[in-house]
Homo-oligomer: A and B are copies of this chain.
Amino acid sequence: MAPTSETLTAERILEATEEVLRRHGPAKATVVDVARALGVSHGSVYRHFRTKAALREAVTKRWLDRTSGELSGIVTGDTAPEARLRDWLAALFAAKRRKAGEDPELFATYMVLTDEAGTAVGDHITDLTAQLARIIQSGVETGSFTTPDPQASARAVFQATGRFHDPCYAREWEEPGAETDFEAVVELTVRGLRSAEPTP
């Protein structure tokens, strides 16, 4: 049990919430469990998160933000845009695969939460697509990519590679051919961005 003398921050509450979710599962975890784990009253928790739904959404957002945070460093890297794009897609696949593989119960829990979360997933996809768009934009500037609309291309690349980051494919990620499949799809999309305009 955490010492009550520590300041009760939103971050501490979210940490405890994740632990409670891991232990009790999404159906049973309550705000009272979270308060108990922190050694505080449930009123103290509600002062930071006004409803149970708000708390669940915040912990989901925190979980998703961990991935976007990891990836953002690649966007601003100084390698060539095409290499950055490949690295970014590989890092996204690796992060999702790690989340699904290392802690399957917590992953399953978050699958339930992302399903009920209001805007957390949509915001996460917007974040990731914006990162992709920045990489594609820098490729357009250096002349390695050709696209009239980096934002739209980013969305297409994100969707075309969905098999390697969308949780509905989590079962496939440990299949023997997954890495080869990933590389082939990345190759196809990178070539699609690189391609010149259609010959008439």
Contact = CB atoms under 8 A, between A and B. Distances in A.
Interface in A144-165: 152-153, 155-157, 159-163
Contact of A194 (B161, B181, B195): B195
A195 B190 CA distance: 10
Contact of A160 (B169, B188, B194): B188
Nearest to A146: B191
Contacts of A152: 184
Interface string A189-200: 111111110100
Contacts of A162: 162-163
B155 A181 contact: yes
A187 B198 CA distance: 10
A39 to B, nearest CB: 42
A92 to B, nearest CB: 15
Contacts of A90: none
Contacts of A181: 155-156, 159
Contact of A193 (B156, B157, B188): B188
A72 to B, nearest CB: 24
Contacts of A160: 160-161, 163, 185, 188-189
Contacts of A191: 191-193, 195, 198
A198 B193 CA distance: 11
B188 A192 contact: yes
Contacts of A168: 166, 168-169
Interface in A64-87: none
A144 to B, nearest CB: 9
A36 B66 CA distance: 56
Contact of A157 (B157, B188, B195, B198): B188
Nearest to A82: B198
Interface string A90-125: 000000000000000000000000000000000000
